[in-house]
Amino acid sequence: MKYYIIANNTQITQQSINKLELDGKNILVLFNYLWPLRFQEILDLENKICISRKGTCYKHSKDRPNKYFNIVQISKDQELFKKIYFLPHPSKLPIADRGVFSREIERYNFDKDKLGILDYNFINPNNRLSYPYPSTKNLSMSTGLQAYEYFKNTKNNNDDIILVGFDSNVSNCWHNSRWEKLYMLRQIYMNRCKFIQCYGLMERIS
């Protein structure tokens, strides 16, 4: 099985999408703003999941921090996904916050059969990675990096992870882009994942 983790990168090309093996067995992983859905091949494939994480500040979450990114549009498009995961799931939050985020999900009438819970032991790699958080900026680990860490640690040995369209320059405002880029490049060079159209490496690494 192949896990295609597809970045919210408007520069992803049709040529790159044509390289995906969309045979119904492999899984597409989308997150937050769902830009890859503009490609018909991705729109049509049933075996795809969506991960949305909660905002970390008012500016980042548009109107309030107690909101999962793009939850309104995700609720409208929920029939397109095999599973939808909210990160962190309300059950994994401090008790004082659980009710707020549970109601946030309930107000959008999601099909409960589509909602799943990711094992937080694998989806919260902050401590394991020693992710640097500069004190001068309100930065957080990207959803793409968290998704990668989750599937890297839960996949079967014969499964492959393929990053699609990863380029940390598109997220300088919200994430420690330089650190994430260097980390993902190390993962690529160590053959822990494959890639399509990532970090300008298309012509240099086969």
Q: What is the pLDDT along the chain (206 residues), one digit of tens a residue?
A: 999 999 988 899 999 999 999 988 899 999 998 999 999 999 999 999 999 988 765 444 444 555 899 999 999 999 999 999 998 899 988 898 899 899 999 999 999 999 999 887 776 655 577 777 666 566 778 889 989 999 999 999 999 999 999 987 656 667 788 888 999 999 999 999 999 999 888 544 44
Report how far residue 3's alpha carbon sits from residue 25's, in angstroms, rounded to the nearest whole number: 10
What angle, 0 to 180 degrees and rounded to 10, lies between the N-to-C axes of helices 177-189 and 143-154? 30
Beta carbons of 93 and 53 less than 8 angstroms apart: no
| Residue indicated by tokens 């890859």 | 36
**Cα dist. 145→41, 79, 132, 183 in Å?**
24, 25, 14, 9
pTM (2 decimals)? 0.89
**What are the sequence ranges of the domains in the chain?**
2-196
Can you give the pLDDT at residue 63? 46
Strands (E), 18-151: 27-31, 48-53, 83-87, 115-116
Report how far residue 97's alpha carbon sits from residue 115's, in angstroms, rounded to the nearest whole number: 19
Task: Give the angle 81-159-83 at the CA atoms, nearest 5°.
Answer: 15
Q: Is 203 exposed, middle or buried (0-12, 13-18, 19+ CB in 10 A)?
A: exposed
Sheet architecture: strand order including 160-164? 115-116, 83-87, 48-53, 27-31, 2-6, 160-164, 194-196
Residues in CB range of 80: below 8 A, 6 or more apart: 37, 43, 48
Beta carbons of 23 and 29 less than 8 angstroms apart: no
Can you give the pLDDT at residue 206? 41
Can you give the pLDDT at residue 61? 45
